[in-house]
Chains A and B, each alone.
Chain A
Amino acid sequence: MPDKAAIKILNEKCTGCGLCVKACPFGAISMEGKQAVIDLTTCTFCGACVEACKFNAILILMKEEAKADLSDYKDLWVFCEQKKGEIQSVSFELLGKGRELADKLGVSLCAVLLGDGMEGCCGGLVARGADKVYLVDSPKLRNYQDDPYSKVLTALVRKHKPEILLCGATTMGRSLISRVAVKTRAGLTADCTGLDIDREEKLLLQTRPAFGGNIMATIITPDTRPQMATVRHKVMKESEPDAKRKGEIIKEGFPEETYSSRSRLIDVVEEIEETVNLAEADIIVSGGRGVGSPDNFDIIKELAVSVNGAVGASRAVVDAGWMPYSHQVGQTGKTVCPKIYIACGISGQIQHLIGMKSADIIVAVNKDPDAPIFSVATYGIVDDLFKIVPALTTHFKKILGK
């Protein structure tokens, strides 16, 4: 156990009720006799048990650590991702959130842009809310590569000392920011769904899902700077461009060594798949006999494409030859476990339900209010799927900005 933190059960207060055992997300607490016992090898001092205990019988003691000289660090930075010279929209989302947080802290919002010939894009970042743009422009930074990007960003951080650094949780962002965090001994929280400021402590409150979204955790970085976080694409709202905004462009350059790389990008291959593998899909839109004909499946496919989902089908539809077998969900088809399963015109025979009942959210659209599918549905709509499905497609396209 680290000697700077301790957790203990106050034996005189513990009633052995077991609430803490259930509350512990890490399974670190067990009951011995009528007393709770904490396994310190698995305890992470998250404090879930302290909140759960009705008798104030659990104490977490944190050593008062002398805060490092954190006052040198100021401003909120957003790493702006570019591909082929184009700013990725996740950057605009981060600038939107970053603006809000910077205002709460009363600091400047700074965009960081690495690339080749990117100067023309800086104005756009100002319009999206940046007060300053740090630009590092070099032919060596044309495409993302781990070595030069992490060295350049680390050098910038060391030089200018931002107090917060936000980055998209993309294949680029996650690879890059993890390296910068280790190099600068910074705390980093992945995939935040909520970001806020503790005004008193001037700390970034980073909230993220864990255990597949079954629990949420709020995380802080108390003693080191910058406080780093990644945010997934589409989680935050893009800031609206305001062409009248003014900002400062600061160009930075570094010695040649900083741009060197031990790996080499040989080629970039683009391949966009229209449909997603059924078994792996997060979202599945399925059609049944109610769809009426093979041609009508187009509206099912359009809905699936609009949410980057896969197309499923009931056995009846596959047997009728409307859809190939590879799309069949159910006992003799595939068993699926998506986050969302949208069943359109599927009555919900037991053999179908067996294949999809473990989906997180089940939506049923069917004209027949007595269809068994409604008994497992999270959301049910008793209506004509030909009215509902196209309308849903339109709404999802709007939501996803397609």
Chain B
Amino acid sequence: MTGSRGSAGRRLRDGGMIQRDRPVAFSFNGKRYRGFVGDTLASALLANGVDLIGRSFKYHRPRGIMGAGCEEPNAVVQVGMGGETTPNLRATEIDLYEGLSAVSVNCWPSVSFDVGAINGVFSRFLPAGFYYKTFMWPSWHAFEWAIRRAAGLGEAPKQADPDRYETRYDHCDVLVVGAGPAGLAAARAAAATGSRVLLVEQDSHVGGRLLWDPAVIDGTEASAWIADCRRFIEAQPEARILTRTTAVGYFDHNALVLVENPAGSLGRAGPGAPRQRLWSVRASNVVLATGAAERPLVFPGNDRPGVMLASAVRHYVERYAVRPGEHAVIFTNNDDAYATASAIVRASGAVSAIVDTRAEPPRQLVETARASGIRVLAGSAVVGTKGARRLRSVRVREADGRSRDIPCDLLAVSGGYNPTVHLFCQSGGKLVYDADQALFKPSGSSRSVRSVGAAAGTMGLGASLLEAHEAGRGAAETGNPGNDAPRPSPPQASGEPPTIEACWRVDDGRGKAFVDFQNDVTADDIALAARENFRSVEHLKRYTTLGMGTDQGKTSNVNGLAIMAALTGREVPEVGTTRYRFPFTPVSFGALAGSTRGELFRPMRRTALHDWNVTAGAMMEDYGGWQRPACYPRPGESLEAAVQREALAVRNGVGVFDASPLGKIEVKGPDAATFLDRIYANTISTLRLGSIRYGLMLNEAAAIIDDGVATRIADDHFLVGTTSGGADRIAAWLEEWLQCEWPELDVLVAPVTTAWAVLSLTGPASRAVLGEVGTDIGLAPQDFPHMSFRAGTVGGIPARVSRVSYTGELTYELNVPWSLAPDLLERLIDAGRSHDILPIGVESCLLLRLEKGYLHVGTDTDGTTTSLDVGWGHVLKRTSDFVGRRSLLLPHNQRTDRLQLVGLESVDGRPLPLGAQLSLKGSGPRDADGFVSSSGYSPALRRGVALGMVRGGREKTGEGVIAVTSRGRFQARIAPLAAYDPQGERING
């Protein structure tokens, strides 16, 4: 071995699961490298001798790869360019692909020369909470932007994501999370019963730890056993395996959320394939075989590039055929890391020493190590590291108290294992502390959630396989008799669980001992938190940011809370863990959004006249989820001018308005009249056949929730009209009262909004136009007066016609079957040509109603406005009950100084600013006596018109009010609601 740092030196000549016949070119920080299919970005970088991957979050210290999986805290990179760029991915999870381009995050101007590293020099001035304590004058927010810039991770993409994301729903009898030895055994046992089984694995391969930890199962090599399991499971018709799929969330009633990367973490998906797929799975039973993650030891200088988790070193050697260093030292408090020494030796690397914190490590391990020429330093600890951008040596304090330096370029550390209990805790499960194994594990399994293997704290392979097999079969047979197929026997393997003596912190030595590598939280920061009394684990987390990085503290949480326990004289379980939350690993916004983006984010509804409106040049806008014409501007015409022109056309001739979204609800049955009397604030049962009445609906607190007209079609049959925005809400409101409060009423409610298109023909010439189109309905005023209803035909089309008006002009509301509306509109336009008919939009319609002072619910009213506030005192004369009636009598609703709806007349004719605060004459200009709720310029009156809510306003007609705004001071008078045609004569035509 040459000891060179080149790729030839780091990549082993044979072995591993990489495909050596399929080389791949990629780039990192602008430099080009080569790896193989089967590599991760991390293994390829290690093979190329790239030690420095990024800079730490706070002190900008150089950092290298520490782990080999999703727990990796350091090797966080940004991948891809433009709209496809993805920040904050772990290099250990990115499958290498041709053309991959990645850069470090959090370093400027470059990873090897980083300006922010000056923070490291001054680091003794930067303890936990430093920023919050120091940057307090004049305000934290004055400094926040600069501090956030210095301490960022990757950059969010600035362009839209061009990729497609997909959402799928599924269900199964047994969901097995994790396809390591335990997961495979559980899934095989469950699948054998014929149950619907889903096995998910976040890696590209099933096998878990067996992919890098040699073992013998059922007398064969682990790889053969894995292949057998896989074949068996896939052969069952109801069982499936999803790889590259991470279970990120466990929600109520066994609803799990999975994220699948069909083409590898970021490789190009096939044409039409989604980049990611979000699965929402409902499982009758869940088996959690999520394994365990190794935790580092906490000692000074433990973050230097070249310090890696012992299991990760084994992972790189065995699976990727990469030797992460030439001269290794092992630092451990348990048996498991001895296997790493063996793996390095097998890979022709040198192991200078195994530093074991235990005074008496198991004799057999010591002897085996010595037989390979490795010194075992018992009762010793690493107390410091040296090296600028790469480890050069470690300082070891031996049992006799003497210290010495041992040269090495790789330090493999093991502080024991943490069962991956995230999903278990999300399911509501509680943890117990196992002092013998120094780990938190699930307190048990429930009927529908079973933890198995290392995830359950069962660390020996043989016991783990047996436990998983039983759990898989048990889960499948819960409430499911299964088939008669022969059941496989439990897999057999040997292997004792490793022994461990907890070591949470190496106390001596100088320099920073990191606990949370991603957020730069040191053991001293935890001590500071303890001194300042942030002793609860949740306080510790928030004060120091321990475990709050994108890795969610997978390597740091347990070390951190154990150090806190020691500092405060408590036992580890007394301190407890922080809450484990969704998601287990970061999820992209694309995956969460799925296809609900762009036009599909909130699908827009269109009326039957949509194409006609667009052809006519309408300016279409979103009104309560409907695409509607705001106005029909002519070429070169401003929107304001178009609205004025359309409004004048209605006053002087005739306009036609697409009112199709108006809510229409049929209410039918022997008790229909009784029901509507209780729903409306005013009486409906006295309505004569063919007549129409305007009504207000209140909620039980007496606030106005909708208004509209009720029409009596037959004795037992009404048509309830609602606002366009209220159509769905009011239909649901009626159902709730009928089903929950008055089930004894014999009434049916049927929403028919989209069955009937509505063309509102309005203006003094509307009668003439309707006559020319032809109808079998008598149009003479005495035959068809205002507020009445007739059914018949218009231009040969079956129609329901109402004489109601929102413009104050003679109006016919023509309700026709949805599909026939364009035909009718053409005929109306043809017939109206001699009267200069115009299509009018929503804006001119609202301006016309404002001139008339008609209420617009939700514009002039809010959630506190009652029927009394808009001048409907008469409803209290009713002797029968209705929704909201009792609340009208509550003292606060009876006050005379409530905000009341009034008309407003500006003194100089300028329109009042919408929303402006109003002060009554006599009170100061800062006193809030009301506000302008609707305002516009009336083309008919040639002055501003407005409505407002004013304290006690209805008794103050003629009094002055002042609006002071940034646009100046406005003088106005309180006026009657209707500015135009106050006598209401034009409505009769």
Do A and B pair up? The answer is no
Chain B residues within CB distance 8 Å of chain A = none
